[in-house]
Amino acid sequence: MTTPDYAEKIPNNVELREDRRLQRALESWQPNFLSWWESMGPTLPTRDVYLRTAINVGREGWAHFAHVPMRDYRWGIFLAERDPGRVIGFGEHKGEPAWEQVPGEYRADLRRLIVIQGDTEPASVEQQRNLGATAPSLYDLRNLFQVNVEEGRHLWAMVYLLHAYFGRDGRDEADELLHRNSGSEDSPRILGAFNEETPDWLSFFMFTYFTDRDGKYQLGTLKESAFDPLSRTCEFMLKEEAHHMMVGTTGVDRVVERTAQLMVGNDTDDVAAFGAIGLPVIQRYLNFHYSVSLDLFGGETSTNVANYYTAGLKGRWNEDRRKDDHKLTDDGMLVDALVEGEIGQAEVAALTGLNTDLRREYIADCTIGVNRWNKILESAGLPHRLGLPHIAFNRKVGAFAGIEASPSGELLSPTEWQQRKTEWLPTDVDKTYVRSRMHAVYDRGKIASWIAPPRNGINGQPFGYDYVHLA
Ligand SMILES: [Fe+2]
Ligand SMILES: [Fe+2]
């Protein structure tokens, strides 16, 4: 069960061979996926890339590393191992056996949840497709491609569920996942942040830190699902996500480190003369990516999400570590709200506040990164600090969508916002400057001037390893 067969056209650990109909359906989707990858995936021509491929779902040694041509990457279907005794951990079905099939009454909701998750995976590949042309090092280039092929595999993970459990509707949705495109006028991706472009590597690192991290939290709630195949799929995806988080965290680390080095070495705040990116620009990029990622969690209150929870479709982050009845029918909580026009909090039923609950877990996690970056500044002997902006800053979704607030949380009139927003969000000048710093460095062991080299390479290889062979 746990060893995928790589002799198969579609490597998998779900005994696809036993289900000819499903196998045929997925094999007919496969060429569409590959032509999507060719037309919407990475644009930089490469011979091969040092990539990891999942070969097992167990705790130890689940991945294999080798140089492979990206087109021949073995995108497969991997679910975490089944626990035959698993029971539902929350909601009105708490304590009942987990579902191996989709209950008819929850079919539409489950399909929707899977489609929304599935839509983000290829979207990020599309957003990042041109970044290879300006990679700061071969190491970074390899990490970009690793993230890309794994987001492609996450699409496979969701498409498998759609094909295997949702019949004709599921197959149609799987086709749609390849038809919608990031930033498209006619058929954009479902969620706003996935239609923004990722034009430069600072954006890429901020995206993998903040926006990919939203994905981690969404997968964490779906991992709790009563629908066991979804739960097992997400559990395995979370394993791969850890690398994406690492790319974002250490990526920003290295930009901050390089900037700090130049500030101290040259006794100046203005590092542009040395080809690096100043702290105010880094802060504005952070403000942007953080605030659009907060929007991905939806409104502060949501009856849909309350229903998903009660039905057992989507749980909370670390559901099993929560010390309550896992039903929440009688509980209340405070959520962020506009109270008589002021930024404040309001008490709501705990079930309707679940988006807020998840967003708070996410915010706590984001704080860890900011603390890391501030430690880098501190150990360089600099008094400057980065920070997360206020929850009401630059929001387009939820309680604060209709107001404007500064990063410190003061309410602003529309005019004040218009006058001051360039202090807080990336300006055209910032973006042009950052883009002007993006020159590809493809020599082994070399790195661009605006970023420090990583402390460790990949899979024990040195930084100067030949991670990518260009075509
Ligand atoms: Fe993903
Ligand atoms: Fe990811």
C-alpha 446: how far from chain center: 28
- Indicate the DSSP class of residue 379: H
420 CA → ligand 1 middle, Å = 35
- Distance (Å) from CA 212 to ligand 2 centroid: 5
Gap between the Cα atoms of 158 and 219, Å rounded:
11
Please write down the HEC assignment for all residues of 2-45. Answer: CCCCCCCCCCECCCHHHCHHHHHHHHHHHHHHHHHHHHHCCCCC
DSSP state of 129: T
Nearest-ligand number for the alpha carbon of 143: 2
Q: What is the pLDDT of residue 56?
A: 77
The Å distance, Cα 468 to ligand 2 centre, comes to 21
Torsion over CA of 371, 238, 391 and 352, rounded to 10 degrees?
A: -140
Ligand 2 centre to CA of 270 (Å) is: 34
Q: How far apart are CA 108 and CA 102, in angstroms?
A: 10
pLDDT at 10: 92
* Distance between Cα 132 and ligand 2 center (Å): 17
- What would the mean pLDDT of 212-232 be, rounded to a whole number? 97
Torsion of CA 283, 288, 290, 291, to 10 degrees: 130
Q: How many CB atoms lie within 10 A of CB 425?
A: 17
- Answer yes or no: are the C-beta atoms of 200 and 130 closer than 8 Å: no
Question: Is the pLDDT at 2 greater than 60, yes or no?
Answer: no
CA of 127 from ligand 2 middle (Å) equals 13
Q: What is the pLDDT of residues 385-411, one digit of tens each?
A: 999 999 999 999 999 999 999 999 999
Amino acid 9: pLDDT: 87
pTM: predicted TM-score of the whole model, two decimal places: 0.96
Contacts of 423 (CB under 8 A, 6+ apart): none
Question: For the segment 252-266, what is each residue's pLDDT rounded down to a tens digit?
Answer: 999 999 999 999 999
Q: Which of 124, 234, 221, 222 is nearest to 180 (CA)?
A: 124
pLDDT at 169: 96
Residue in the structure block whose two tokens are 């990063």: 407
Joined together, the tokens standing for residue 3 give 């060893």
Residue 235: predicted pLDDT: 93
Predicted confidence (pLDDT) at residue 353 exceeds the cutoff of 70: yes
Report how far ligand 2's centroid is from the alpha carbon of 147 (Å): 6
**Which band of pLDDT confidence, cut at 50, 70 and 90, is reported for residue 434?**
very high
Centre of ligand 2 from the C-alpha of residue 169, in Å: 26
The answer to whether residue 136 scores a pLDDT higher than 90 is yes
- Distance of CA 249 from the midpoint of ligand 1 (Å): 16
Range of weakest confidence among 238-242, 284-288, 416-420, 424-428: 238-242
Among 164, 163, 157, 183, CA closest to 175: 163
The closest of 417, 203, 226, 185 to 313, measured between CA atoms, is 226
The average pLDDT across 320-339 equals 96
Determine what percent of the chain is predicted with pLDDT higher than 70: 98
Cβ-contact 441, 136 below 8 angstroms: yes
> Between β-strands 404-405 and 342-349, what pairing exists: parallel, antiparallel or unpaired?
unpaired
Please report how the helices 228-266 and 138-165 are oriented relative to each other, as an axis angle in degrees rounded to 10: 160
Helix, strand, or coil here: 234?
helix
192-205 confidence digits (pLDDT tens): 889 988 999 999 99
Q: Is the dihedral of CA 80, 82, 87, 92 positive or negative?
A: positive
Is there a contact between 224 and 315 (Cβ–Cβ < 8 Å)? yes
Q: Is the predicted pLDDT of residue 129 greater than 60, yes or no?
A: yes
Question: Residue 118: pLDDT band by 50, 70, 90 thresholds?
Answer: very high
Q: What whole-number distance in Å separates Cα of residue 432 and Cα of residue 361?
A: 34
Ligand 2 centre and the CA of 244: distance in Å?
Answer: 5
Q: Is residue 7's pLDDT more than 80? A: no
- Ligand 1 mean position, distance from CA 432 (Å): 29
What CA–CA distance (Å, rounded) separates 155 from 163? 12
Q: How many angstroms is it from 434 CA to the middle of ligand 1?
A: 26
Distance CA 394, CA 383 (A): 27
Q: What is the mean pLDDT of residues 125-131?
A: 97
pLDDT tens digit sequence for 267-310: 999 999 999 999 999 999 999 999 999 999 999 999 999 999 99
Q: Name the amino acid, one letter, at 220.
A: G
Q: Which ligand is nearest to the CA of 208?
A: 2
Question: 50 and 142 in contact (C-beta within 8 Å)?
Answer: yes
3-state secondary structure of 161: helix
Distance CA 34, CA 27 (A): 11
pLDDT at 3: 65
Would you state the pLDDT for residue 8?
A: 82
CB 154 within 8 A of CB 121: yes
Distance 57 CA to ligand 1 centre (A): 16
pLDDT of residue 244 exceeding 60, the answer is yes
Share of the chain above pLDDT 90, in %: 94
- Helix and strand numbers (H, E) in the chain are 12, 7
